[in-house]
Each structure stands twice: as structure tokens, then as C-alpha cells.
């Protein structure tokens, strides 16, 4: 009987091909948009994970002040670190690859008649190691330059581009308000961060130079610490925390006035955010799937009215009410499932194209395809049932008389 | 449904059949205590003015409608006691219908139209096809099986409808004004086919018509007047 219903449905649908297609269109678009949205969302999540991995998953960030936690999110003012702290970490804790003390300021950099507002970072060669950030040209700071606080700098690629254009910046002198620096190197470009900020827009100079010539103090606001392979990041975090509490004389029971963040946390938070966004996009797209279902119900209701005489004929010939019900139900199911299949094919094409366009990885999730297909079938049955029941309840005599 | 009671010869037996539509003062008595027997292999013409009850009579014989009171035995089975599904199965296995407006499925080939009752009977596809082709051929429609109703003339459509009705070899063929939409020549063609099916295949034919010419093909005429069977033979030649 089920087989018969499929036979009848498959005979019926091609008879009005345009209508069958239009009926399925809602489902096609619904399924395609759900899958496309989720695929793009997954791609974006992947991309963010990749970018964070490019920062180095073995990277810790030590900052003065309290982490934003709890209501209000007030960050307490706390004293900065100093060079002794940084040296202590490198010296006393095993498994540390590099420590990069950071102090920073916003400056107006000038070269010739060009000027560019950027941030200047005072650090050591540890910055290059901890951030795993090679130079495109030029050289690192020499030991003498670091110790003496020489007027040299390494440019981020954006700054090099903005100030020098096509010109070679090496050995040229750039100027801040009251300070001239010789360019000794240029970093390779890392591009935009996942937050959309330009990571190449900065100037690196020796920390000592920064302290003496720009900041006028010896504060270190934060430090990047990279961990050697094979050491537990959690353990290193604990060790650094204990060392810092001791050095900053924090009594037991008292809260830290600094915090250590590792990149895995950021990864979790960010990919959590994009997952939420992906679900949201998927949910919005799911509404169109629902609308597609209502489209099917609409057309099936019209079809039942239009085919009243046909239904009367079928009933007179000896079709059982449940066979008529099943036929219409199967027609709706076939329409929506075919729509689902076409939608899946369309979605794969569109998401492959869009991911290329948006430069995110193409991550096809078979789960969401299965779910979208399953829902298209369920919607067919759900919205097909009411019209089908109407058809099955027709009185054959009335139906035959219907004009 | 092979059980039988009463007179063996009586394929159809109606005892005090009434059919009332509506209730109270608005009630319409379409049939009033009809007594009727039809023998196996008969060819009956049912006549009468519109509203005389002949269509209701045909619907009850065809198990599409049930009497308000009285009993209807089809091969000894009380049809009035059957459920909707049981009546559908009875139609499927024992009855064939020809309608005035043909009622063929649109955009559906003649072959598929004729196959339809066999689909509901659950006949496997190859048998279904050969039976349908045979039925079409026997009605002179060989070569037209791929055509849809829109591509066929009225007479051809009625012959497809006839083929659909007889493809299952029914006990009874019920025809509701089968020549109503046809010109005289085509009408006689259809009547000759009905006569042939009645004679050659032994199919009992019950045909509603209002044309004396067509009724003349039948062996017996039943005339309805205001919901009862008139005892007076209508004017014109007898059978």
C-alpha cells in the first residue's frame, strides 16, 4: 500500500512540473539557507581558531590589574611590573621560552612629509620570540642597543607602508615629537586579528629607550610569555602566579592584582561566540524552512480542492480513504524531500562559493545536512497531513458532482 | 463476499429501500420503499425525470450511498451494514463505474487511467499493463494508450472510461448517463459496446439515461417517478 502511494505520487508530481517546483521552492530555499548559514558560521569559527593558533597557543599574557570579573567589571588600578619581575620569571621558572616585557604609548610618527598615528611598543628581542613574529627584512636589536637604550626601531608592515610607501625604510630615520629613531628592521605582515584590528600597525623599540625617552618611568604594563613545548601551560601559569604573588607581596587570601591569560581561553571564548552566532543564523534560516512548509500546505490545500473530482473518481473506483490520505501525504513528503535534496546540493554550491569569497575555510557539517533533510521531510508530513485528511474525508458522491 | 442468501439468481436485491435527505419538514424523500431485484447478467435502463430518484438509486446500487431504511443485498451481503471501507472494497472488487463527464484523470495517459483500478487492486505492474492494454484494445483504442484525455475526442474519452470500468472484470457496470455528452453516432457506438460487454462478458449493466433511444438497448426498463418505480411502461417500444 505504501509502495502504491509512492507510485501514485511519483505519477502525479511530474504532471504539473512547474507547480511541483514552486511548491518545493520554499523548502529548497529553507534547507539551502540553513545549511549555508551554519557552514559559513562554522567556517568563521575555524578561521578564528586558526588565527588564534597563529598567535601561538603556547603564549601567556601577564597583565597588571584585576581581570574583568564579576558585576561591574571594574578593573582595579595596580602597580605595574618592572624589569626585575620579567627577569625573575625567565630565571626562576623552568620551561619558559621567552619573556617579552611590554610598555606602550600612542605616537605620531613622521617621515619626510608623511605622518602616521600608531602605537609604539617598548620591548626586547623576547617580543620577536614570544610572539613568534619573524622579520621580513633588517635585523633584531643588538645587545648593546637593548642595554644602552639606543634610538632604533623595527616597523610593523603597515607603518612601513604608510610612512615609506615603496621606499626601503632600512637605515632611514623616523621622528616622533622629540625623538628620532633609526629603522633597523621590518616585521612580516600578520594581517587583521579576529577582532578586526590591524596587527601590523605598530613600532617596536627597545624597552629601555621607550622608558627613558617616551614614558619617563620604568613601568611594564604587561608581558608576553611563551612556553617551551612539553611543558604544561596550566602548571606554568600556576608557577608564574605564585612567583608574582610573592614578588608583589600579596598576602594569602588576598586577590591577585594581576592576571595571566592564556590563548586557549580566548579561543574558547571567541569560538563560543561564533557558535552562538552560528546557531542564531541557523535559527533565522530555519524560519524560512517553516515558511516553506506552510507553502506546501497552501498548495496541497488548493490541489485537494482542484482535484476534488479526481478524488471522487478514485474513491468510486475503490480507493480507501486511507489510501487517498496516504497518496496526498506521500505527495507532500516527496515534494518536501526532493526540495530538501535540491536544497542540500544548492547549499553545498553556494557555501563553497561564499566561503571562497569571504576567505573562510569550507567546513561542511554532515550533521546539519542530515538534520535539515530530516526536518524538510518532517515538515512535508506535518503540513501535508491537514490537506491530505481533507481529501480523504470527501464524500465520493459530493466529490464526483464537484465542478 | 461469496456468501449468498435468498434467490440465487438475484445479484442485487432491494427490500423497502428509502433514502431521505435532511430531517423534519425540510426532509426530501428521494426514494420511497423501493423493491427491486436484478439478476446476474441483466442489462437495465433506469429512466425518469431529474429529481425522480434515479441517481440516488444508482448511488445506492453502486455502494456510494447507503439507504436510510430497508436492506440492500449484493450477492446476499447486506451492504447497508458495511462500513465505508468495506463498501470501498466491494466497489473495488465487484463494481465498475462510467460517469457522464467521463471523469478521467487529467494529464494522465489513457493507459494510466485504465490502470488506476488495478493499482488499487494491487495487481503487479506487468500484469496491470497488459490487462489495461487489452481493455483499451477491446474498445477499439489500440494505439491511443499514450494519449491524455485532452488529446482524445469525447467518444474516445468515454471509451477510455469504459475500459477503466471493465478492466477489473466487474460483476456490475454502473453507467450514469454514459452518452449524455455525446452526439447520436457516438452514443450508439457506446451503447453497442455496452451491449457487447453485457453479452460477451456477462457483465450486469445498470444504466441511467433519459433518452428513449439508448434505453431501447436494455433488456428491461425501470422508470422512476417521485422516488417510486412506476408500474406504467413509458411510451414507445418495449424491450
**Contact yes or no for A320 and B99 at CB 8 A:** no
Segment among A235-244, A265-274, B197-206 with least mean pLDDT: A265-274
* Whether the Cβ atoms of residue A95 and residue A228 lie closer than 8 Å to each other: yes
Residue carrying C-alpha cell 633584531: A140
**Contact yes or no for B85 and A321 at CB 8 A:** yes
So what's the pLDDT on residue B6? 46
**Contact yes or no for B93 and A320 at CB 8 A:** no
Indicate whether A246 pLDDT > 70.
yes
CA distances in angstroms from A277 to A41, A42, A271, B40, listed in the order given: 7, 10, 10, 75
CA distance B167 to chain A (A): 11
Between A284 and B61, the more confident residue is B61
pTM: 0.69
Confidence class for position A275, pLDDT limits 50, 70, 90: confident
Which residue of chain B is at minimal alpha-carbon distance from A403?
B101
Q: CA-to-CA distance for A268 and A247, rounded, in angstroms?
A: 31
**Contact yes or no for B108 and A11 at CB 8 A:** yes
Show residues of chain A in contact with B97, CB under 8 Å.
316-317
Task: Give percent of chain A with pLDDT exceeding 90.
Answer: 26
Show residues of chain A in contact with B132, CB under 8 Å.
none
Q: What is the pLDDT of residues A285-326, one digit of tens each?
A: 888 888 888 888 888 888 888 888 889 999 999 999 999 999
**Contact yes or no for B117 and A318 at CB 8 A:** yes
So what's the pLDDT on residue A70? 47
CA distance A322 to chain B (A): 9
Q: CA-to-CA distance for B141 and B151, rounded, in angstroms?
A: 13
A172-183 exposure pattern, b = at least 16 Cβ within 10 A, e = fewer: bebebeebebeb
**Contact yes or no for A317 and B120 at CB 8 A:** yes
| Rounded average pLDDT over A169-186 | 91
Show residues of chain A in contact with B59, CB under 8 Å.
397
Indicate whether A234 pLDDT > 80.
yes
**Contact yes or no for B122 and A320 at CB 8 A:** no
So what's the pLDDT on residue A77? 63
Closest among B91, B97, B81 to B208, alpha carbons compared: B97
* Whether the Cβ atoms of residue A345 and residue A21 lie closer than 8 Å to each other: no
Show residues of chain A in contact with B105, CB under 8 Å.
310, 313
So what's the pLDDT on residue B20? 94
Within a 10 A sphere around the Cβ of A63, how many other Cβ atoms?
18
CA distance B107 to chain A (A): 6
How does DSSP classify residue A129?
Answer: H
How does DSSP classify residue B22?
Answer: S
CA distance A326 to chain B (A): 13
Q: CA-to-CA distance for A159 and B125, rounded, in angstroms?
A: 78
So what's the pLDDT on residue B39? 94
Q: What is the pLDDT of residues A320-370, one digit of tens each?
A: 999 999 988 888 888 889 999 999 999 999 999 999 998 888 988 898 899
Polymer length of chain A: 403
- The count of CB pairs under 8 A between chains A and B is 62
Show residues of chain B in contact with A321, CB under 8 Å.
84-85, 88
Residue carrying C-alpha cell 431504511: B69
Segment among A57-66, A90-99, A310-319 with least mean pLDDT: A57-66
Q: Which of B88, B103, B112 sits opposite A309 (nearest CB)?
A: B103
Q: CA-to-CA distance for B213 and B118, rounded, in angstroms?
A: 33
* Whether the Cβ atoms of residue B95 and residue B170 lie closer than 8 Å to each other: yes
**Contact yes or no for B64 and A397 at CB 8 A:** yes
Q: CA-to-CA distance for B231 and A97, rounded, in angstroms?
A: 117
Closest among A185, A69, A194 to A125, alpha carbons compared: A185
CA distances in angstroms from B145 to A274, A289, A383, B124, B160, listed in the order given: 61, 41, 36, 19, 9
Q: CA-to-CA distance for B159 and B190, rounded, in angstroms?
A: 7
**Contact yes or no for A318 and B93 at CB 8 A:** yes
Indicate whether A73 pLDDT > 70.
no
> Which positions of chain B have pLDDT values less than 70?
1-9, 232-239
**Contact yes or no for B97 and A316 at CB 8 A:** yes
CA distance A48 to chain B (A): 56
Task: Give percent of chain A with pLDDT exceeding 70.
Answer: 95
What's CA B238's distance to the chain center, in Å?
22
DSSP result, A17-85: HHHHHHHHHHHHHHHHHHHHHHHHHHHHHHHHHHHHHHH-TTEEEEEES--S-STT-PPPP---B-HHH
Closest among B231, B199, B210, B202 to B45, alpha carbons compared: B210
**Contact yes or no for B91 and A317 at CB 8 A:** yes
Residue B30 φ then ψ, to 5°:
-75, -40
Supply A242's cell numbers. 605564585
Which residue of chain A is at minimal alpha-carbon distance from B161?
A313
**Contact yes or no for B107 and A314 at CB 8 A:** no
Q: Which residues of A touch B (CB under 8 A)?
A: 1, 4, 7-8, 11, 15-16, 309-310, 312-323, 396-397, 400
Indicate whether A276 pLDDT > 70.
yes
Amino acid at each position: 500500500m505504501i509502495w502504491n502511494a509512492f507510485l501514485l505520487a511519483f505519477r502525479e508530481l511530474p504532471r504539473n512540473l512547474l507547480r511541483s517546483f514552486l511548491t518545493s521552492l520554499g523548502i529548497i530555499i529553507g534547507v539551502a539557507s540553513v545549511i549555508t548559514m551554519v557552514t559559513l558560521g562554522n567556517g568563521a569559527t575555524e578561521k578564528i581558531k586558526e588565527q588564534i593558533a597563529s598567535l601561538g597557543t603556547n603564549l601567556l599574557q601577564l597583565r597588571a590589574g584585576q581581570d574583568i570579573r564579576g558585576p561591574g567589571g571594574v578593573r582595579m588600578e595596580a602597580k605595574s611590573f618592572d624589569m626585575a619581575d620579567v627577569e625573575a620569571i625567565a630565571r626562576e621558572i623552568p620551561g619558559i621560552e621567552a619573556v617579552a616585557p611590554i610598555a606602550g604609548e600612542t605616537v605620531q610618527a613622521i617621515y619626510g612629509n608623511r605622518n602616521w598615528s600608531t602605537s609604539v611598543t617598548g620591548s626586547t628581542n623576547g617580543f620577536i620570540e614570544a610572539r613568534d613574529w619573524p622579520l621580513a627584512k633588517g635585523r633584531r636589536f643588538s645587545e648593546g642597543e637593548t642595554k644602552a637604550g639606543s634610538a632604533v626601531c623595527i616597523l610593523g608592515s603597515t607603518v612601513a607602508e604608510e610612512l615609506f610607501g615603496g621606499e626601503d625604510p632600512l637605515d632611514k630615520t623616523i621622528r616622533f615629537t622629540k625623538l628620532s629613531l633609526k629603522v633597523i628592521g621590518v616585521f612580516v605582515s600578520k594581517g587583521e586579528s579576529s577582532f578586526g584590528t590591524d596587527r601590523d600597525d605598530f613600532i617596536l623599540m627597545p624597552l629601555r629607550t621607550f622608558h627613558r625617552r617616551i614614558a619617563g618611568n620604568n613601568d611594564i604594563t604587561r608581558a608576553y610569555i611563551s612556553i617551551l613545548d612539553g611543558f604544561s601551560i596550566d602548571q606554568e601559569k600556576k608557577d608564574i602566579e605564585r612567583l608574582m604573588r610573592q614578588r608583589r607581596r600579596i598576602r594569602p587570601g588576598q586577590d591577585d592584582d594581576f592576571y595571566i591569560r592564556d590563548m586557549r581561553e580566548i579561543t574558547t571564548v571567541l569560538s563560543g561566540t561564533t557558535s552562538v552566532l552560528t546557531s542564531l543564523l541557523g535559527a533565522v534560516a530555519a524560519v524560512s524552512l517553516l515558511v516553506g512548509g506552510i507553502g506546501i500546505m497552501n498548495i496541497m490545500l488548493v490541489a485537494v480542492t482542484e482535484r476534488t473530482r479526481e478524488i471522487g473518481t478514485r474513491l468510486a473506483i475503490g480507493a480507501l480513504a486511507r489510501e487517498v490520505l496516504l497518496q496526498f501525504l506521500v505527495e507532500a513528503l516527496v515534494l518536501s524531500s526532493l526540495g530538501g535534496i535540491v536544497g542540500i546540493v544548492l547549499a553545498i554550491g553556494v557555501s563553497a562559493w561564499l566561503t571562497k569569497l569571504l576567505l573562510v575555510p569550507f567546513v561542511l557539517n554532515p550533521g546539519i545536512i542530515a538534520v535539515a533533510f530530516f526536518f524538510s521531510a518532517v515538515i512535508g508530513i506535518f503540513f501535508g497531513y491537514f490537506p491530505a485528511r481533507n481529501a480523504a474525508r470527501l464524500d465520493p458522491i459530493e466529490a464526483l458532482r464537484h465542478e | 463476499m461469496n456468501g449468498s442468501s435468498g434467490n440465487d439468481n438475484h445479484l442485487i436485491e432491494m427490500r423497502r429501500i428509502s433514502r431521505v435527505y435532511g430531517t423534519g419538514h425540510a426532509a426530501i424523500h428521494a426514494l420511497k420503499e423501493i423493491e427491486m431485484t436484478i439478476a446476474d447478467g441483466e442489462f437495465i435502463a433506469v429512466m425518469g425525470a431529474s429529481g425522480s430518484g434515479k441517481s440516488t438509486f444508482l448511488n445506492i446500487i453502486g455502494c456510494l450511498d447507503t439507504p436510510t431504511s430497508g436492506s440492500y443485498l449484493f450477492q446476499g451481503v447486506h451492504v447497508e451494514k458495511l462500513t465505508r471501507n468495506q463498501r470501498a472494497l466491494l466497489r473495488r472488487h465487484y463494481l465498475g463505474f462510467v460517469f457522464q463527464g467521463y471523469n478521467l484523470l487529467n494529464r494522465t495517459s489513457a493507459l494510466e487511467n485504465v490502470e488506476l483500478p488495478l493499482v488499487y487492486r494491487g495487481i503487479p505492474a506487468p500484469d496491470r499493463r497488459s490487462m489495461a492494454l487489452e481493455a483499451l484494445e477491446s474498445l477499439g483504442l489500440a494505439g491511443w494508450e499514450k494519449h491524455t484525455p485532452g488529446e482524445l475526442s469525447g467518444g474516445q474519452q468515454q471509451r477510455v472510461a469504459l475500459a477503466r470500468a471493465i478492466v477489473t472484470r466487474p460483476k456490475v457496470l454502473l453507467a450514469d448517463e454514459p452518452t449524455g455528452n455525446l452526439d447520436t453516432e457516438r452514443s450508439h457506438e457506446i451503447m453497442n459496446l455496452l451491449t457487447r460487454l453485457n453479452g460477451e462478458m456477462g457483465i450486469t449493466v445498470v444504466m441511467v439515461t433519459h433518452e428513449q433511444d439508448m434505453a431501447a438497448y436494455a433488456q428491461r426498463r425501470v422508470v422512476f417517478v417521485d422516488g417510486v418505480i412506476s408500474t406504467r411502461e413509458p411510451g414507445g417500444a418495449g424491450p
